[in-house]
Structure 1
Amino acid sequence: MTDAPFDPSEHFDESLVARYDRRIRRFCPSYDALHRMIAPWLRNVPEDATFLSVGCGAGAEMITLGSEFSSWRFVGVDVSADMLAVCERKLAEAGLTSRAQLFEGRLQDYAAPAPFDAASSIFVAHFIKSRDEKLSYLRAVANRLKPNGIFVLADLFGDKSAPEFERLSEAWRRSYASNDVGMAELARDRAHIERDVDFLPEAELVALLSEAGFESVTRFYQTFLFGGWIATNRRRG
């Protein structure tokens, strides 16, 4: 009997969305820094660029980049209606409502009116356990990008059989526990990670990106087991 696939529309229900901003920064202490580190890689994107945020969650990418690039327009895609409601409110607070659109559903079901200049997937793909489904997801990103479009991917990663994986994992657990997390919550969140996250060695992740249509894959970020990569859509203009 195989495990049921992770369903983010159920995991990020209304009660959990209310705690999301606090929890994600406990899980990943450099969460805000990661988003700030994306902007320098996008300086050569056109001033009137369009940006696709896949699994946009509460809108961190759109809000951070929207403040950096005043002429950009954004589309956020997420399967969670509750998360999109939070995102809509945060976009309004940031004054980005007129520059952003939201779509509820899977990326594969989103019919983009035109290809995007850049896209991001932050802490989304590591929940997709089937290799074929993960490849389909990454190809769906590539197919919605312009030739040479830029893709930012951030996920949990690592080779679970390697000694450094356990060292990084233990340091991560200690970092998380240092935030006055109760034992019950710590046990519940640890079980969630072990049950729902598909850890891939970096070489396998890069191979998947290449198969999906990306090249020039460069890791620019790492905190414990969280990694971030920049890639370019292989299609040429």
Structure 2
Amino acid sequence: MGEIEERSERGTGESPERMMPYHRALPAEPKSKLYLGCLNKPQLILISVAAGLVPLIIIITVAAVLATKSDSSTALPSFSTGGDMLDFLVQSGDISSPDGLMATWYHRANSKEEMNKALTSDAMILEADITLEGYGTANENPIPIMAHPPDIYSDNTLDQWMDAVLASRKGMKLDFKTLRSVGLSLDLLSQKSKNSSRGINRPVWVNADILLGPNAPAFLPTVNGT
């Protein structure tokens, strides 16, 4: 028994098992959530910011261009109303030489719709017709309006027409269709030339049919030159 106990105390003589170091398993990182099937969150934020900046840049650019155009009328050369229209167009940069064939026109820019079309077109000169409101009727008023006979009513007066055209770079040609509208219209032009902050800073061509031609309509009265 003594030998058996001694062996038990000494052990079997075999070396004990080596203890391996313990490593704690770390949890796996969660996969990034994808948006639209292919974008992670930082990429989505970057694209969203870029998409918001593009319209903002476009708005700022358009506003700058419009502001430049709105100020362009102040850069027009100052001409008297009796100045040369072709010289005016040359100095304003619309044509390269005083050649009437280079000038472009927009005829019968009478109603507000036609006037606005003309103002946004490439035409250099607006031509419009002047008569009196209700001309030849019991409702005739001493208000020059923009209309071509036989029309005697319009949504546009000469006063409104002048303000709109003077805010642009266009030249002006006024065609008088009634004799009674001439004096009232010239008084209005004189008033605008003196009282307007802008004045009339460009030539104004005026035209009137004073003789009846072979194809003149019957409703036009004859004019006594004396």
Global fold match (TM > 0.5): no
Give the alignment's TM-score, normalised by structure 1: 0.29
More strand by percentage = 1
More helix by share: 1
Q: Which of 1 and 2 has higher RCO (CA within 8 Å, sep 6+)?
A: 1
